[in-house]
Structure 1
Amino acid sequence: MIQFPNAKINIGLQLVEKRPDGFHNLVSCFYPVNWTDALEILPTTGEAAFTLSGLAVPGAPTQNLCWKAYELLKNDFQLPAIQMHLHKVIPMGAGLGGGSADAAFTLKILNDLFALNLTPEHLENYARQLGSDCAFFVQNKPVLAVEKGDVFEPLTVDLKGWHIVLVYPNFGISTAEAYAGVLPQLPEKSLKTLLTQALNTFKDAVVNDFEASLFPKYPVLAEIKEQLYSLGAEYASMSGSGSTMYGLFKEAPVQPLPFPKDYSVWQGVL
């Protein structure tokens, strides 16, 4: 069985407080985007195996979230040995949730492949054990994410038909580095309220709090944001804790995109 784990963007990200467990409570809109990896899982009568292609993924295969997802379910179910192959396309350290998507899709494939009959809620509970935003990719629809980014509230944001340009500047930002520079604070207006307004009001109102500390450290990110606006974006922002920047457009940009060839640029329709 093969599926295509997709990326997500954050539309606004408010860091509201640091938790006693060391994590941060946040508020953000998670929105799925069709920039995808490819994941294939097959049962095997031989030894279990996990292979990779595409972008180089650091760490041992047994430390990959896909394999951890398999072992997590194997603790509770009598799963047979599998052959799993991940073709990695979504950049890492990019704020796009690619690794989390891979893990969540592993759970979903195993659930379907071996008729485990797990509900979406059960799958989300397993996904939360693998990472803060893994659970989002179980149902994979726009939500307001709160707490650690693993508790979801319904949201009526609908960007269907909008064009998106994602720009990854060929370097990642670790979660630890991003959070080291932030100072959580309660926002003047809740993101949920701001997101009920027209998208053309988002530019000055819907903010990713990571930008304040990461833009001075990585000025190229601010430059990309301004370039996206110069191309006609109605709204541009950093996704997650970076380093990907994105722009939302009513129509696809017609002029050549002004980004270096070593950047990864993806365009599509939401």
Structure 2
Amino acid sequence: MIVFPTSKINLGLRITKKRPDGFHNLQSCFYPVGWGDVLEIIPADEFAFSSSGLAIPGDAGSNLCIKAYNVLKADFDLPPVKMHLHKIVPIGAGLGGGSADAAFTLKLLNERFSLRLTVSELEEYARLLGSDCAFFIQNRPLYCIEKGDTFLETEIDLSGYYILLVYPNLAISTAEAYAGVRPRQPEISLEGQLQTSVDTWRDTIHNDFEDSLFPKYPILAQIKRELYGAGAVYASMTGSGSTLYGIFNAPPIVPNQFLDYSVWQGKL
């Protein structure tokens, strides 16, 4: 069976508090986008994992797809499988690509082997793998709080808009990104601000990671300016990574200065 794990953007991201467990509380709307990987899982005589496409750093045994298999195998009599991941979504990009791979592994194993896990149960397994993983179980727009793995319903719908994602071939680790943030409680709810017209977000909706990462990596601020110059009604960095996105009223024309970067565009 083959599935296509997607990625996500953050519509606003506020870091509100450092937790006693070392993580941070945040406020953000996670919104799925179509830039994705390819994952195949088939029964096999013995377990095997392989990958192609973009190189995945670190020990292969630490891959989140393998960890997803193992957390289910601890509770269920899963047979061996062969897993192949074709990696397309850039790593360290703030798009949640690895988290999506893990969540889609859980969902695919649940379906393939009739484990009959509910959405809530799958989310609990996903939370064991990473803060962003649980979002990709439902994989629909959700307002996220706590570590990003507690969800509230949202009516935000960007259907009809177009998106351009620009990854400047610069990987930023989660640890590096969080090292520069200063948690603070916002005076105005991000959830309420997101209910306004997208045309007004430029002045109100902000990703807190931009405050420390833009001075450190000026190319990020430059790309954001160029997205607005190309006609975006709203532009932002997504997550704690280095990808910038622009939301457009019509299919955007990719500026020449982006051609040396990894770029994806589509309809929301």
1:257-268 equivalences under 5 Å are 257-268=255-266
C-alpha RMSD of the superposition:
0.8
Displacement of 1:176: 0.2
* SS at structure 2 position matched to 1:8: strand
| 1:77 paired residue number | 76
* SS at structure 2 position matched to 1:84: strand
Q: TM-score, normalised by structure 2?
A: 0.99
* SS at structure 1 position matched to 2:257: coil
- 1:9 aligned partner, one-letter code: I
Contact 2:110 2:116 in 1 (8 A): yes
1:13 aligns to 2:37 (yes or no): no
Aligned residues: 268
Task: Return 5+ residue gaps in structure 2 as ranges.
Answer: none
What is the CA deviation profile of residues 28-83 of structure 1, one whole-angstrom value per residue up to 9, with x for unaligned ones?
00000000100000011x22100000000012221100000001100000000000
- 1:135 aligned partner, one-letter code: A
| 1:176 paired residue number | 175
CA distance in 2, matches of 1:79, 1:107: 12
What is the CA deviation profile of residues 184-227 of structure 1, one whole-angstrom value per residue up to 9, with x for unaligned ones?
00112110000110001100100000000000000000000000
- 1:258 aligned partner, one-letter code: N
* SS at structure 2 position matched to 1:35: coil
* SS at structure 1 position matched to 2:30: strand
CA distance in 2, matches of 1:257, 1:49: 42
| 1:33 paired residue number | 33
1:96-135 equivalences under 5 Å are 96-135=95-134
Displacement of 1:261: 3.5
What is the CA deviation profile of residues 115-139 of structure 1, one whole-angstrom value per residue up to 9, with x for unaligned ones?
0000000000000000001000000
- 2:257 aligned partner, one-letter code: F
Displacement of 1:18: 0.7
1:1-270 equivalences under 5 Å are 1-44=1-44, 46-254=45-253, 256-270=254-268
- 2:98 aligned partner, one-letter code: G
Identity, in percent, stands at: 62
Q: TM-score, normalised by structure 1?
A: 0.98
CA distance in 2, matches of 1:245, 1:260: 11
CA distance in 2, matches of 1:242, 1:63: 20
- 1:194 aligned partner, one-letter code: Q
- 2:166 aligned partner, one-letter code: V
Relative to structure 2, which stretch is displaced further, 183-192 or 95-104? 183-192
CA distance in 2, matches of 1:177, 1:258: 30
Displacement of 1:259: 2.8
Displacement of 1:258: 2.6
CA distance in 2, matches of 1:73, 1:265: 35
Displacement of 1:260: 4.2
CA distance in 1, matches of 2:170, 2:14: 23
CA distance in 1, matches of 2:205, 2:256: 25
CA distance in 1, matches of 2:109, 2:71: 11
CA distance in 2, matches of 1:248, 1:22: 33
CA distance in 1, matches of 2:85, 2:113: 19
Task: Return 5+ residue gaps in structure 1 as ranges.
Answer: none
- 2:70 aligned partner, one-letter code: E
